[in-house]
Amino acid sequence: MLLRFLVLALLASAGAQAQVLDFTDAERRAILRHGPWPAPWAPDPSNRVSGAAEAIGFGERLFFEPRLSPSGKVLCATCHVPFRGWQDGRARALGLAEAERNTQSVVNVRYNRWFGWDGAGDSLWAQSLRPILDAREMGGSQAQAATLVRSDPELSCGYARTFGAPPPADDALVLAGIGKALAAFQETIVSGRSPFDDFRDALARNDFSAMKNYPLAAQRGLRIFVGRGNCSACHFGPNFANGEFHDVGVPFFVAGGADPGRHGGIRKLQSNPFNLLGPHNDDREGASATRTKHVALEHRNFGEFKVAGLRNVAQSAPYMHNGSLATLADVVRHYSEISPDRLHADGESLLKPLRLNREESADLVAFLESLTERASTLPPRRPGTPCRP
Amino acid sequence: MRPRSFVAGVARCLALSLLCLAGSAGAAELPIFDAHLHYSHDAWDQLPPKQAIAILRKAGLKRALISSSGDEGQQRLYAEAPDLVIPELRPYRSRGEIGSWFRDQSVIPYLEDRLRRYRYAGIGEFHLYGADAELPVPRRMVQLARQHKLFLHAHSDVDAVERLFKQWPEAKILWAHAGFDRPEKVREMLRKHPNLWCDLAFRTDHARAGKVDPDWRAAFLEFPDRFMVGTDSYTPERWYYIGEHANWSRQWLADLPKEVAERIAWKNGERLFGDMLSEH
């Protein structure tokens, strides 16, 4: 009886061990850097209503407000569709007209340091104004948006409750307020915990029993991700993004020219009256504007695009700045077969073809899919109750 | 292309350009000699020669030193605009050979064949570092450059540049990106090698927001005849950056004395390559 028990115990142990890879200390350290989740976050000092309940409610209302577009046909949620992972599933965004870039999800957007594929926004509130004013997206204007908020009793009330005073006569101030309320709402859109997070936390506490629940294919893909793939050099930290910009060998021709990417983004940032160097920054100490003050144009910025965060990445197809890759398998193939000739010899030295075989590619996809939240942590959309001053 | 017609054509174009410039000095935007362009195989379909040349003219380029992988690219451009394009012969048949060409014996017959059929101002831009310069293929390339009196356009570190000069002490070398080295080191190399010139392609450390870095300013003032600007269109999309780069160059050049700025902007390129072409 005792012998039988020992044999069964040994078999069970061998079976369990077969379900968890023997990660090296270096791999363990690299894996642990991708958590914990959710990552700590502090309200945005450049936005005095960041994190405020009234602002979140007002921002949610504005997010679904079609009249911010003079057409009445396009709202923020047209492209950032809640049930599509807060993006649109299209290769390129379609507002009043088709744009040149893919819609980025706003899930976890609060963890960004620059906003948009080109980083033209240095705050979430400034970035939130861009689609309103872009002729191809919502086609609005500062005056039109400000007039709407001042004249509509509900919106005017929401503004007053958020900022403690009715919308002023200065259109720019009202528009900045719109952006700040929209930002406050989007800051609440955070992904839930994923199978990877459970594995990562189990690894942190050496909970072997919990670790083995993580599929072996995902573990093998994770090993590639933090190891020979060197993916975590750019897809860094709990949000799997280093917040910076790179040319990863994706062609960037557009009709009649090329998408300048980060180079154009820096130009737009520097000329934007709503950037953090301007009068609408609520950060009295000015520390939030340091990055904006020191950003400088470099030739390498031409054709660079922002590193995307990877949480819920399986829900945000198609991929890359122009939506040119339809599936995660396509993305893995891109990095597996990337041509170093597309990259400058003294530029993106981190990138080289991974040369993954079929099984390794499938493992990497399995890992990326394991970054999908098990369940949304977002509350149901709030009912549109009348605003009480 | 026949050698005699090539030289005559270039000489005529140079003369006409200089006359035009003399007549409009100070009135128009600063002309630019772009010393670092590529028109490689993956650009030909996206940017046919007429379109590519239109981009160069719109950018206000007086002349462009262009190489391509394979060589057919700049020949197409030269046929389209002999007044604008100065061809270089790159030892790559595709851009995939950047890291392998110096060990590939088949590069030599390729170079010999092209040199027999066409005329060039130089061989390059090639990527070559350290002791690789001593390998048989680069050595033969240097011999061919010597035989045809061509300059070498080297994307190299200091070590490889020194080895190239050791093989051919009279070589004329255009040091691509000035080796991505510090201005102090670049000055040291320029003092040591009177036949060394520098292109500043893909660098931004010498100027920020239109102001020239003090260390680089010292280099430009000490060697005003030895620098050139260049875009480096290493991907086809970057052809659309040529105009932006020309304007960026004009901006920081305006922070230098006018005569120095004009030399770096275009006169050095005109003088260097005009002289070399007239030797044929």
Q: How far apart are CA A105 and CA A122, in angstroms?
A: 17
Q: pLDDT, tens digit, for every residue of B206-215?
A: 999 899 999 9
The answer to whether residue A283 sits within a structural domain is no
The ipTM, to two decimals, is: 0.87
User: Where would I find the H helices in chain B?
Assistant: 3-24, 49-58, 72-80, 107-117, 136-148, 158-167, 183-192, 214-222, 242-253, 258-262, 268-278
Structure confidence at residue B263 (pLDDT): 98
Which DSSP string do the residues of A93-137 spell out, in sequence order? Answer: -BSSSB-SSPPPP-TTGGG-SSBSTT--BSSHHHHHHHHHH-TTT
Cβ of B237 within 8 Å of Cβ of A303? The answer is: yes
Structure confidence at residue A347 (pLDDT): 62
Banded model confidence at residue A345, pLDDT cuts 50, 70, 90: low
Cβ of B245 within 8 Å of Cβ of A299? The answer is: yes
Q: pLDDT, tens digit, for every residue of A145-197?
A: 999 999 999 999 999 999 999 999 999 999 999 999 999 999 999 999 999 99
Quick one: A127 and A92 in the same domain? yes
The answer to whether residue A227 sits within a structural domain is yes
Question: If you compute the radius of gyration of chain B from its CA atoms, what whole number of angstroms results?
Answer: 17
Quick one: A196 and A167 in the same domain? no
Cβ of B232 within 8 Å of Cβ of A297? The answer is: no
Return the DSSP state at B237: G
CATH number of the domain residue A73 falls in: 1.10.760.10
Quick one: A156 and A24 in the same domain? no
Angle made by CA atoms A287, A292, A298, in degrees to the nearest 5: 145
Question: Which residues of chain B make contact with A302, given a CB cutoff of 8 A?
Answer: 237-238, 241, 244
The answer to whether residue A290 sits within a structural domain is no
CA distances from A42 to A65, A111, A185, B186, B256 (A): 27, 10, 14, 47, 47
Quick one: A139 and A231 in the same domain? no
To the nearest whole Å, the CA of A203 is away from the closest chain B CA by 41
Q: What is the mean pLDDT of residues B125-147?
A: 97
Q: How far apart are CA A382 and CA A385, in angstroms?
A: 8
Cβ of B244 within 8 Å of Cβ of A302? The answer is: yes
Banded model confidence at residue B28, pLDDT cuts 50, 70, 90: low
The answer to whether residue A264 sits within a structural domain is no
| pLDDT at residue A141 tops 60 | yes
Tell whether A260 is within 8 A of chain B (Cβ). yes
Quick one: A111 and A129 in the same domain? yes
Considering CB atoms only, which of B46, B99, B127 is closest to A253? B46
Quick one: A180 and A202 in the same domain? no
Q: Which residue of B has its CA nearest to A252?
A: B237
Quick one: A154 and A68 in the same domain? yes
List domains and CATH numbers for chain B: 91-232+245-278 (3.20.20.140)
Number of C-beta neighbours around residue A25 at 10 A: 7
The answer to whether residue A298 sits within a structural domain is no
Residue A317 belongs to what domain range? 19-38+192-253+303-369
The answer to whether residue A271 sits within a structural domain is no
Banded model confidence at residue B30, pLDDT cuts 50, 70, 90: very high
Q: Residue A308's closest CA among A98, A105, A120, A137?
A: A105
The answer to whether residue A358 sits within a structural domain is yes
Banded model confidence at residue A77, pLDDT cuts 50, 70, 90: very high
Considering CB atoms only, which of B127, B234, B237 is closest to A258? B237
Quick one: A122 and A99 in the same domain? yes
Cβ of A258 within 8 Å of Cβ of B238? The answer is: yes
Structure confidence at residue B221 (pLDDT): 98
Quick one: A153 and A201 in the same domain? no
Number of C-beta neighbours around residue B146 at 10 A: 14
Question: Which residues of chain B make contact with A347, given a CB cutoff of 8 A?
Answer: 202
Structural domains counted in chain A: 2
Tell whether A41 is within 8 A of chain B (Cβ). no
Quick one: A108 and A151 in the same domain? yes
Cβ of B203 within 8 Å of Cβ of A253? The answer is: no
Find all residues with CB under 8 Å of B253, minimum gap 6, and list them. B30, B229, B261, B264, B265
Question: Which residues of chain B make contact with A297, given a CB cutoff of 8 A?
Answer: 204, 248
Quick one: A310 and A364 in the same domain? yes
pTM recorded for the entire structure: 0.90
To the nearest whole Å, the CA of B274 is away from the closest chain A CA by 29
Quick one: A91 and A239 in the same domain? no
Banded model confidence at residue B279, pLDDT cuts 50, 70, 90: very low
The answer to whether residue A8 sits within a structural domain is no
